[in-house]
Amino acid sequence: MENQISETVSINFPKLDEGEHYAGVLLGKDGAPNHHVILLPGDIDDGTWHNAKEWAASIGGELPTRREQSLLFANLGEQFEEDWYWSIEEYSDAFAWCQLFGNGNQLISHKVLNLCRARAVRRLPI
């Protein structure tokens, strides 16, 4: 029988500001906890990708990555409309990723179209 090594990881729960929601922890490439994901209050609807990025920065956050969007869908889906939301991840110079919070599907959309809503997150390194 192989030796099994177990490791206990202790993660302190971050302090949330008013209106924020804790989404969870994302793991890094090494499999260790990398950062906390905090959903910020507010959203914009039907903006271009560039407008969404500017809005997120204006409230002290960023658009979420695709992995963060999956975490948000799993843990805080009720905080979203059943609609498309921009991700910070670009597919190309002209396209960026979006996620549908009705079912979790992800696809690319042209950045200049006003098809997606936006929510912002902040990240706290672990």
- Domain residue extents for the chain: 21-125
Superfamily in which the 21-125 domain is placed by CATH: Mannose-Binding Protein A, subunit A (3.10.100.10)
Low-confidence ranges of the chain (pLDDT < 50): none
pLDDT for residue 1: 53
Nearest to 85 by CA among 124, 117, 121: 117
pLDDT for residue 5: 65
Nearest to 121 by CA among 34, 60, 78: 60
Task: Give the predicted TM-score (pTM) of the model.
Answer: 0.88
pLDDT for residue 14: 87
